[in-house]
Structure 1
Amino acid sequence: MPPHASYSSPRPSACPGLWRIVSALDGGICRIKLPGGVLLAQQAEAVASAAERFAGGVIEATNRGNLQIRGVGPDHQGLVAALLAAGLGPREAAGDDVRNLMLSPLAGLDPAMVLDVRPLGGQILDLLEGTPRFHALSAKFALQLDAGERLAMLDHPHDLWLSVLELEQQPWLAFGLAGSLGESDVLGAVPFSQGLTLVRAMLERFLDLATPTQSRMRHVLQTCTAADFIDGLGVALRQDPAVLGWRRPVRPVTWLGALPQRRGVALGVAPPLGRLTPAMLREAARVAREQGDSSLRVTPWQSLVLPNLASGGIDQAQHSLMTVGLLCHAAEPLARISACTGASGCAKALSETKADAVALAALLGPGAPASVHLTGCPRSCALAHTAPATLLARAPGHYDLYQRDPRLPGFGALRATDITLNEAGAMLDLPTEHLDD
């Protein structure tokens, strides 16, 4: 174990981390932040073993492309040591919280990408981990680096997002603040080669302006306009119509089944409701080792991607992974549902959302929305953006149904109150335009 390792919290936060194991009703939660969502096969096996040895065997894929172990018992030091030995931690404890950089699960491989942003992503992670001042950022402060990939999460809000665009046959890096890549405005761009300089200036500017109660970019922008924020960066920005009028191309996204790469093919699979068993993780690691490049990518859809598989082995890989309970096809009802931990694991939840989601899946037909989210309380921890349909628990087995409406805050428009799962299933089976009826 490295001599600098510490098992005390590097700084106050309610968010789980590697060293900071947060208590829940079902035991401790240890969150493992993965660089660009990448998990090597041997690391996946180490996580599976650690979950069995030091916890209750429950592993969750998170909506930021990370993993967390639930039900952690009293031997926190043993768990952390096992994860560090597998290379699943930063160089120093204080650098753990700030490793919040999201890339496409197929960064460097996606046929739609403008260029490979993984080297820049590595530089940004090194900057976050290695700059003591940046360790003061909130554990929730999040960045996204995008290269135009087809497999990309465009709905999650980020404090700072960056996206590659081509101008005059040269790569530039557009950016936006406190919003999602798919919706918020472009504020400017720099040559791609200046990307790291831009990120450093952004983070320093944020920390210069933020008060102790302003932990997120949106808080600072309530007292400082975006124009004033970027005026103080000290970085030359391009802000002509070609930049400010640019919008990131939006393409249909499929994260399950065979996924195209520039060379070869990837396979997307998902644990039901984001929960992996050790057997699932071990089997995914075995397939990645024997048929791929010995790596996995954890995605913001709480799923896994196995990259660089031989195209002729996809059917065999899918069959092997389905035998341990992983979902391989988008048409499966559980593939369209997400749910928070529920009342057995969280004191704030008003219903057993995981079990309710399984019951609801059996009631959904082809007319249901592409995504339905069950949340036990208004915090909606399991989903970083608003789903097309949200069920908010009121009491065990009873929910309010909301339909996403971009004109309304929160979950959207309230369509029904205090309904049962059967009633919710009947309403969700209708095309979404009929939810008003």
Structure 2
Amino acid sequence: MNEHPSSNVIRPSGCPGLLRVVQALDGGICRIKLDGGSIRADQAEAVASVAERFAGGVIEATNRANLQIRGIGPGHDALIEPLLAAGLGPRKPSGDDVRNLMLSPSAGIDRQRLFDTRPLAGQILVTLQSHERFHELSAKFAVQLDGGEALAMLEHHHDLWLSALVRDGELWLAFGLAGTPLDKAAGRVPLAQGHALVVAVLEVFLDLARPDQIRMRDLLAELPMDEFMARLADRVPLQACPDWQRNTSIDGLHLGVHSQHDDRVYVGAAAALGRLDAAMLLGAAQLAREKGDGSLRFTPWQSLLLPNVHREYADEVLARLEELGFPGSSDQALAQLIACTGSSGCGKALADTKADARRLAERLQRRGQALKIHFSGCPRSCAAAHVAPVTLLAVAPGRYDLYFRDATLPGFGALQAHNLTIEALDHWLDAHPRSPLDA
């Protein structure tokens, strides 16, 4: 049973949680953290119901594979209770913030997986919520557990990442700090030591970090990595991992129909610009019951998967998702664009990014183009947890600076054009047909 939320155990934070509704320009925000991005059909129906009753039905799929309800009015305790009753809350109220463990959306079913990460993930999540000291961690502190899947978000930076590898027929976990599985590994441990490693890393971090050093990168900016690793080696036996190289993930596997490790498939479709409504979520939940295993999985690409669908139903499931309003193909412009909340819901945004993104999507669709472009209403880049290939940074209502990602430059990358309207961007695309936009 979840304990009833109490204000004296929920620590102050600017990040919304299930038990902490944070106010925005368009009302309150409630963030529902999903274990491994997965949610049962009945839980999805509970989210849809409270979103419709208390918040006008606006639901967001986040880039950490969670769900948010926006536009919540007064009396939000009435919204929280049904979500707790559906089993969507933490084991302890003070453990809500620390449930930041990202898995592949295809964990356990991916054809390329080296092991099923879900049992270990469950063990880690219980520890994060039950170990009182871990509740001191920031709501932004995050861990990634990667089983070697083909469908994996490998660009989001995490405070600790763990990634599967095989050496001499044995399963190990390579790991790194303040980075991604595409980086050099700090070391490796046997799979059986994975849980102990997570506990040790978090305890060493809390031993060494000042209160203002809320992320691993903050600590390592001042503390030599060798010193952290020496402290860690006192708690868990470590081995070097000099030859670590993660296979890159396969682009587009979060959309459309894809084979699982068995004879079934999963079907993926996007929540356009990260938004869905109660009717869409209810329809997807019903479809999961009828044609899948009664569950949905949300992804860090702000999309959803229906897993364990029999192959003969795949085309029907994809068509019905599209009828509900979920784009199911990478050829659809709206499936490729990212946009933050924008000025319609956020006081820091300088432009209505979602409306502008839809205007651009219409133009791109007419061109037969589907380009990966990130709309950001301010420099905080809330919609993208990594630097996107192309970013439009708002500078005024309806006007954006255009950036291309450049690994040698900080922030969004290299500035290409300034103060573009959507129409001017359209002309810019005509004049630069071989730009990274088309890469």
Q: Indicate conservation of the 8 Å contact 2:391/2:403, yes or no.
A: yes
Contact 1:104 1:149 in 2 (8 A): yes
CA–CA separation in structure 1 for the residues paired with 2:27 and 2:138: 24
Match of 1:203 in 2: 202
Partner of 1:46: 46
Structure 1 position 3, deviation (Å)? 4.9
CA-atom RMSD in angstroms: 1.6
Task: Give a deviation string over 1:90-145, Cα, whole Å, max 9, x none.
Answer: 12110000000000001000000001111100011011000000000000000000
1:112 aligns to what? Answer: 112
Matches within 5 A, 1:316-327: 316-327=316-327
8 A contact 2:90–2:96 mirrored in 1: yes
Contiguous gaps of at least 5 residues in structure 2: none
Q: Deviations over 1:66-96 (max 9, x none)?
A: 0000001112111110100111001211000
Aligned to 1:143: 143
What is the aligned partner in structure 2 of residue 31 from structure 1? Answer: 31
Aligned-pair distance for 1:244? Answer: 1.6
Matched, 1:404 2:405: yes
Provide closer, same or farther for how the CA distance between residues 431 and 131 of structure 1 changes in structure 2, counting only shifts above 3 A.
Answer: farther
**Matches of 2:331 and 2:370 in 1, distance apart?**
12
**C-alpha separation in 2, matches of 1:164 and 1:111:** 14
Aligned pairs for 1:279-290 within 5 A: 279-290=279-290
Deviates more, 1:313-322 or 1:58-67: 313-322
Q: Tell me the alpha carbon deviations over residues 241-298 of structure 1, each in whole angstroms, 9 at most, x when there is no partner.
A: xx22211001322210002210110000112101011111011101100100000001
Q: How far is the alpha carbon of 1:426 from its aligned partner?
A: 3.2
Give the conservation status (yes or no) of the 8 Å contact 2:404–2:436: no
Answer whether contact 1:63 1:302 (CA < 8 A) is retained: yes
Give 2:330's aligned residue. 330
Change (3 A) 1:150 1:426: farther
Residue 423 of structure 2 corresponds to 422
Supply the distance in 2 between the matched residues of 1:409 and 1:357 (Cα, whole angstroms). Answer: 24
Classify 1:3/1:214 alpha carbon distance in 2 versus 1 (closer, same or farther; 3 Å): closer
CA shift at 1:4, angstroms? 3.9
The question of whether the paired residues in 2 share the 8 Å contact of 1:368 and 1:428 is answered with no
Task: Tell me if the contact between 2:257 and 2:318 (Cα under 8 Å) persists in the aligned partners.
Answer: no
Deviation at 1:364, TM superposition (A): 2.1
Q: State the distance in 2 between where 1:248 and 1:227 align.
A: 23
Residues 7 and 77, structure 1, Cα contact 8 Å, conserved in 2? no
- Which TM-score applies when normalising by structure 1? 0.96
Which residue matches 2:294? 294
Q: Is the 8 A contact 1:144 1:161 kept in 2?
A: yes
Partner of 2:11, secondary structure, is coil
Q: 1:383 to 1:309 in 2, by over 3 A?
A: same
SS of match in other structure, 2:28: strand
Could you tell me which amino acid in structure 2 is paired with residue 146 of structure 1?
D
What is the identity, as a one-letter code, of the residue corresponding to 1:395? A
Compare 367-376 and 404-413 and name the one that shifted more.
367-376
In 1, Cα distance between equivalents of 2:407 and 2:434: 14
Provide closer, same or farther for how the CA distance between residues 6 and 253 of structure 1 changes in structure 2, counting only shifts above 3 A. Answer: same
Q: Which residue of 2 aligns with 1:372?
A: 373
One-letter amino acid matched to 1:153? M
Matched residue of 1:323: which SS?
Answer: helix
What CA distance in whole angstroms lies between the structure 2 residues aligned with 1:244 and 1:83? 45
Q: Percent identity?
A: 57
Q: Is the 8 A contact 1:256 1:270 kept in 2?
A: yes
Cα deviation for residue 194 of structure 1 reads 0.4
For residue 185 of structure 1, report the CA deviation from its aligned partner. Answer: 1.2
CA distance in 2, matches of 1:391, 1:300: 20
> Counterparts of 2:80 and 2:434 in 1: how far apart (Å)?
46
- Structure-1 separation of matches of 2:46 and 2:245: 41
Match of 1:216 in 2: 215
Confirm or deny: 8 A CA contact 2:356 2:398 kept in the other structure: yes
> Residue 384 of structure 1 corresponds to which residue in structure 2?
385
Residue correspondences, number: 432
User: Contact 1:386/1:410 (CA < 8 Å) preserved in 2?
Assistant: yes
- Cα displacement string for residues 312-347 of structure 1 (whole angstroms, at most 9, x for unaligned residues): 111111222212211111100011101000101000
Contact 1:8–1:20, Cα closer than 8 Å, also in 2: no
| Residues 358-406 of structure 1: per-residue CA shift (max 9 Å, x gap) | 0011222679674100011000101101111100001111000000011
Counterparts of 1:196 and 1:374, CA distance in 2: 38
Compute the displacement of 1:433 (Å): 3.4
**Alignment map for 1:38-437 (pairs within 5 Å):** 38-182=38-182, 184-233=183-232, 234=234, 235-239=236-240, 243-254=241-252, 255-263=254-262, 264-364=264-364, 370-428=371-429, 430-431=432-433, 433=435
Contact 1:61–1:303, Cα closer than 8 Å, also in 2? yes
